[in-house]
Structure 1
Amino acid sequence: MANKLIKQMGLPKSIANIFTARNIITAKDALSHTEFELMELLDVDKEEVTSAMAHVSEVVCPPCQTALLLLEQRVRNETLAGHLPTHLKGLDEALCGGIPFGVLTELVGPAGIGKTQFCLKLSLLASLPASCGGLDGRVIYIDIESKFRSKRLIEIGINSFPEIFLKKGMAQEMAGRILVLRPTSLSEFAESLYQIKVSLLQQQVKLLIIDSMAALVLGEHECGTSRQQALGVHVSFIKSLAEFSRIPVILTNQVRSQFGDESRMYSFQEPLYNKR
């Protein structure tokens, strides 16, 4: 909005022409000066400058919105974009249908609580045929802590969807749709992300899981500030991947104890209601 042209703001033609003649073309140009500076530049009185600047400020200033309105807009957008149902009734109801498409969803909790198990089940749900309630697509699973277990994946499939996984060849077909990457350094991880951006379109990828990036950053950065900076850069790119591809993106994060009994959690998601 700062680059909106002065002549497009509905100012009186006389004052708009004066702005243009003095090479004040955009709202940013005008708002970069004080009223007294504009009085000298435009050679007009204070009342006229004050009125013009109030009008320009009103046009370019975004309207105020309540937190409730922002929440309602987000829920509405997520509903329109779609969800990946978790098949857990209470959770799907709380999430308005499941894991939303087009956003980054963070799973947070202490070690051993079941985050990876949940990610394995989501991987199966994304790879299931659409006729069975799945997304009928491929999954990219970035397994940073080497917790992915194919055997456990099949066990979850057989227990949760026996009518599908007990059919000949179905377990192999579903498992074959899940691509597992195991970067060993932050540079490898960054390279994987850029390669993934191409794969999201070319290979019908319907879900991206990162389990968990914090572990990789913790291993390479001892300083809290540099660690958070590294996380911020990569998480911003991951968020852009979610928006670009319009698929659900899951990132796990865990509470870690540091400096005695002090407990810290490296959190990436800004709106509280998006944390899973």
Structure 2
Amino acid sequence: MFSIHLRCRVLAGKEGGDAMANKLVREMGLPEPIAAIFAARNIITAKDALSLTEFELMELLDVGLKEVSSAIDHISKMASPPPQTGLSLMEQHIHHEQLGGHLPTRLKGLDEALCGGIPFGVLTELVGPAGIGKTQFCLKLSVLASLPSSFGGLDGQVVYIDVEFKFSSKRLIEIGAKSFPQVFSMKGMAQEMAGRILVLRPHSLSEFTESLQQIKVSLLTQQVKLLVIDSMAALASGESEQGVPTQNSLGWHISFLKSVAEFSRVPIVVTNQVRSQSSDETCLYTFQGGRSKDTNDASRYDSHLVAALGIHWAHSVTIRLILESKSGSRFIKVAKSPMSPPLVFPFHISSSGISLLDDHGVELVGPDISRIHNQGHSEIINFCR
């Protein structure tokens, strides 16, 4: 049992597992006679040895169970990753985050909650009703990603996949000019930064797939510093017969985006719409907490809005930010994050984009973490388009 347990440790993990599995048997200090038999039977690496059962090795090597068990125990111990403490794992995680980096949102309270901003290498989702400010947020992030590094930006290119035709170059430049007048006042700077943002407008999920394939090389070669998809739900709803977004049509795209994010270390931001929650729908996520028993209280659940894409999509994103409105005021909520408790911040939208009204977020508990309010919401201010 001991050798089987260690064998699983060696063969199960991909990250770091290959180096362990490819260790040479002849360098593991086995007794010379048994090491020679392994070599003669072309069992060269730890993976070769541990991929066979003890009885298969007995037959192949023509030795007894005692000798095989002893050899396998020794190979397992030599090839297994060394044990780590919780402290060392935490330090590795912090180091990984520092190498990965963040795209600061310039919203102080939100950046502090997210340990620096929108993290590289994962999917960050903005979900909320129409007109709440999701596109405004994405435009501001696009400015920040293309901003020169000397002014705190990423000094890179942006790919903006504009599914709903909401991207506005005039609004983008207005946000930049109001937020960073010292940069945009330079001759030709507005045109240069706008030129760093590639806008794609796929009309279908198949066109979106082609777009992803076209930009894959740019993403993996670090030419692009931000990928925005506005919105994923619109792509999925376009493929369904009744216009209701489904998660089934996005399986490949979820996997593709997660792998690209991981390998390119590019921050990927996607927007998601909302829909009405059916009366028999639990819509319970592992990061949501308990559900109130009084599900018929409209004043508590407002219009029963939920994120348009389903639970599989919800578990695929690492960060979920909910933008909502209550009694005419707007709020941004950290509903899901591995580095922050659920927090909510009031915000407003001005000519310079989204701004927090208070940098001290209020912590949330229970179902209100993922509940989406849309009370007394008025249409977004008409900035230049």
- State the TM-score, normalizing by the size of structure 1: 0.80
Which of 151, 164, 176 is residue 132 of structure 1 equivalent to? 151
The 8 Å contact of residues 123 and 178 in structure 1, kept in 2 or not, is answered as yes
3-state SS of the aligned residue for 2:338?
A: helix
Query: Does residue 166 of structure 2 align to residue 147 of structure 1?
Result: yes
Per-residue deviation at 1:230?
A: 4.7
Query: Does residue 122 of structure 2 align to residue 104 of structure 1?
Result: yes
Higher relative contact order (CA 8 A, sep 6+): 1
- 1:51-89 per-residue CA deviation (whole Å, 9 max, x = no partner) reads 211222334444556777555433322213433221111
Q: Which residue of 1 aligns with 2:254?
A: 235
The 8 Å contact of residues 144 and 184 in structure 1, kept in 2 or not, is answered as yes
Query: In structure 2, do the counterparts of structure 1 residues 256 and 26 end up closer, same or farther at CA, with 3 Å as the change threshold?
Result: farther
Query: In structure 2, do the counterparts of structure 1 residues 62 and 137 end up closer, same or farther at CA, with 3 Å as the change threshold?
Result: same
Query: Does residue 215 of structure 2 align to residue 215 of structure 1?
Result: no
- 1:121-178 per-residue CA deviation (whole Å, 9 max, x = no partner) reads 0101112222322222221101123222233323322332234345565444432322
Query: Does residue 338 of structure 2 align to residue 273 of structure 1?
Result: yes
Which of 138, 141, 152 is residue 119 of structure 1 equivalent to? 138
Query: In structure 2, do the counterparts of structure 1 residues 64 and 144 end up closer, same or farther at CA, with 3 Å as the change threshold?
Result: farther
The two structures, once aligned, show a CA RMSD in angstroms of: 3.3
For residues 165 and 86 of structure 2, what CA distance do their matches in structure 1 show? 39
Per-residue deviation at 1:195?
A: 1.7
For residues 41 and 129 of structure 1, what CA distance do their matches in structure 2 show? 63
Which moved further from structure 2: 88-97 or 27-36? 27-36
3-state SS of the aligned residue for 1:140?
A: strand
Aligned pairs, number: 271
The 8 Å contact of residues 138 and 203 in structure 1, kept in 2 or not, is answered as no
1:184-199 equivalence runs, <5 A: 184-199=203-218
The 8 Å contact of residues 105 and 144 in structure 2, kept in 1 or not, is answered as yes
Which of 175, 179, 187 is residue 156 of structure 1 equivalent to? 175
Which of 201, 206, 218 is residue 182 of structure 1 equivalent to? 201
Query: In structure 2, do the counterparts of structure 1 residues 212 and 129 end up closer, same or farther at CA, with 3 Å as the change threshold?
Result: same
Per-residue deviation at 1:5?
A: 3.5
For residues 22 and 270 of structure 1, what CA distance do their matches in structure 2 show? 47
- 1:187-224 per-residue CA deviation (whole Å, 9 max, x = no partner) reads 211221222133447894322212233431343257xx
> What is the identity, as a one-letter code, of the residue corresponding to 2:260?
L
Gaps of 5+ in 2: 1-17, 284-309, 320-336, 343-385
Gaps of 5+ in 1: none
1:45-56 equivalence runs, <5 A: 45-56=64-75
Q: Which residue of 2 aligns with 1:76?
A: 95
The 8 Å contact of residues 123 and 258 in structure 2, kept in 1 or not, is answered as no
The 8 Å contact of residues 138 and 206 in structure 1, kept in 2 or not, is answered as yes
For residues 44 and 202 of structure 1, what CA distance do their matches in structure 2 show? 52
For residues 33 and 214 of structure 1, what CA distance do their matches in structure 2 show? 47
3-state SS of the aligned residue for 2:58?
A: helix
Q: Which residue of 2 aligns with 1:29?
A: 48
